[in-house]
Chains A and B, each alone.
Chain A
Amino acid sequence: MAAAIETHHLSRRFKDHLAVDAVSMTVPDKAVYGFLGRNGAGKTTTLKMLLGLIAPTSGAARVAGVDVARDRLAAARRTGALLEAHGFYGNLSGRENLDLTRTLLGLPKTEIDRVLEVVEMTDNAGRRVSDYSLGMRQRLGLARAMLGAPPVLILDEPTNGLDPDGIADMRRFLRALPERTGATVLLSSHLLGEIEQTATHIGILSHGQLVLEGELDRLKADLAPEVVFQTDDQTRAAALASARGFTLEVTEDETVARLKPGEDARAAAAALNRALIETGLNVFAIGPRARSLEGIYREVSQPQPRLEAA
């Protein structure tokens, strides 16, 4: 599959702080690519470099085959963006705001109705943006990003500040975007659940470095499954599982035993269950569980280094 977005050793330094560190990412055509990372991981800086808003310290970025640093205008013609700061003029209506961008892009007036229809905002387009809810502003921002039907959409935290209903709406909308518009979507977020339910591909950024990238389903499939169990004595249960060669992750409520890649999770769960009961432990719950994005994320991203008080 051709790449809609590609970066090669993309880095950006702000004085002493290396915000983005040699990121080489590939967003396949027509993918919904979830760009994950904690706040401050370097997501927005990377997106700004893709949009030509800031220059990389080193490395290169290509959008729809165009080198952003060499030909920003050509790259921008192929890109629509929704940024964290929407930049709407509150004293103008939604339609008037779209019309300003439409005029700047030299598009026909019919484009406004088209994009308003896509985001289901036609009925509210005449209202002043200052009267819009955050969800409506996000959708208007998406409409503006889609003016001129660019093949690449870059969306920075599109569900930020939305209520649960708004998040569900946005998720449904984003999932359907490539099919409805033919666009490739790169969306950044720090919400794992949102990305897991929306994205086809993910990239995880940690301390400015891309620590994992790939097709989400394949990443999940490649990872070894796990067996979750709860007993009346988690310490003894953990010791037993550990003695049987499992890698464990113990939380307050449950213990998670990681299997080896390719191991049969159901058989492992049955064997572990038998062993626990034979030891005299009461087993409340036990069963195999597919690896979640959260598990993947926790495995590859390191916690922020803490500053120790002197």
Chain B
Amino acid sequence: MLSILSVEARKLNRSLAALLALAAPSLIAVFAFFMLLRGDKPQPWEMWLGSAAGIWAFFMLPMSVTALTALVAHMEHGPKSWDHLRALPLPRWKLYAAKVVCVLAVVAIMSAATLGLTIVAVKLAVMIKPVIEPTGPMELARWIKVLAMMFGAALLMAAIQLWTALRYFSFVPGLVVGIGGTFFAVVATSAKQGVFLPWQMPVNMLASEPWRVTTALGLGCGVGLLALVAMTIHLARREVR
């Protein structure tokens, strides 16, 4: 399995995945940087880190997962590599499991980068304009936990996106599902039913009602893991023609 993971990592490393992994969290940090510079009064750390986590979970995470899964799948769809890979003396499920691991690893790195780059952006803005230095504790451990929960709640969404992207040769079905899911997550933010929408599950980690947090995390992580296993089995068994 390690050799397959190393091959996947090498392929990803030479694709535009690194650019995507850096771009999405950077955009949030850049936004926070300019928002800080616009202000005249100091705000608590919670406001900056909370809004960064919110933007990440609400919009950037679903869109990044959509783009990343399309990219990962198209690495094989584009050059029509499946026949070559599937003819090798390797259990096919490992090929798909390696893709799952790589996608989740990149999402985890992006989640960490969102937090890290936002803190850097705040510090940089303070260097330029010391009067806006955030007040209160940073509570880094708390925000790491929140982002980790968002990651867990995003598993179902990641499974659906990766499944669609790997199943269909064209990247269009994956994009339609991703854009559609994000659209409904955005327009139905306050809807009670939104907690059951995979694309809205991560942002529910910031909900004030505990049932929303536990429901979204339980469904997103639990059903997400099951969906990833089902995806791996289904793709390994199906014929690619």
Contact = CB atoms under 8 A, between A and B. Distances in A.
Contacts of A88: 79, 81
B91 A73 contact: yes
B13 to A, nearest CB: 10
Nearest to A106: B3
Interface in A43-74: 48, 51-55, 73-74
Interface in A82-112: 83, 85-92, 96, 100-101, 103-106
A293 B3 CA distance: 46
Residue of A53, A88, A105, A106 contacting most chain B CB atoms (<10 Å): A53
Contacts of A104: 3-4, 7, 85, 88, 90
Contacts of A101: 84, 88
Contacts of A74: 89
A90 B90 CA distance: 23
A24 to B, nearest CB: 23
B114 to A, nearest CB: 27
A10 interface: no
B60 to A, nearest CB: 26
Interface string B48-89: 000000000000000000000000000110011111111111
Nearest to A83: B83
A76 interface: yes
Contact of A90 (B76, B79, B88): B79
A79 B87 CA distance: 9
A81 B84 contact: yes
Contacts of B11: 89, 92, 100
Nearest to A51: B87
Contact of A85 (B3, B80, B88, B90): B80
A54 B15 CA distance: 30
B14 interface: yes
A73 B89 contact: yes
B206 to A, nearest CB: 39
B97 to A, nearest CB: 14
A87 B88 CA distance: 13
Q: Number of contact residues on A: which range applies?
A: 20 to 34
A77 interface: yes
Given A73-B91, A103-B3, A104-B7, A91 B239 contact: no
B10 A100 contact: yes
B41 interface: no
Contacts, number: 74
B135 interface: no
B235 to A, nearest CB: 14
B14 A83 contact: no
A144 B88 CA distance: 11
A144 B14 CA distance: 20
A32 to B, nearest CB: 21
B83 A85 contact: yes
Residue of B15, B76, B84 contacting most chain A CB atoms (<10 Å): B84
A248 B87 CA distance: 47
A103 B7 contact: yes
Residue of B10, B76, B87 contacting most chain A CB atoms (<10 Å): B87
A51 B76 CA distance: 19
A55 B239 contact: yes
Contacts of A85: 79-81, 83-84
A54 B241 contact: yes
Contact of B83 (A53, A55, A77): A53
A57 to B, nearest CB: 12
Nearest to B95: A104
B43 interface: no
Interface of A: 48, 51-55, 73-74, 76-77, 79, 81, 83, 85-92, 96, 100-101, 103-106, 144
Interface of B: 3-4, 6-7, 10-11, 14-15, 75-76, 79-91, 239-241
Given A89-B75, A89-B79, A91-B15, 11 more contacts: A48-B83, A73-B89, A81-B87, A83-B84, A87-B79, A87-B80, A87-B81, A87-B85, A90-B79, A101-B88, A103-B7
13 contacts: A52-B87, A53-B87, A53-B239, A73-B91, A74-B89, A76-B89, A86-B84, A87-B79, A100-B10, A104-B3, A104-B4, A104-B90, A106-B3
Closest 6 CB pairs of A and B: A87-B81, A85-B80, A76-B89, A87-B84, A77-B89, A51-B87
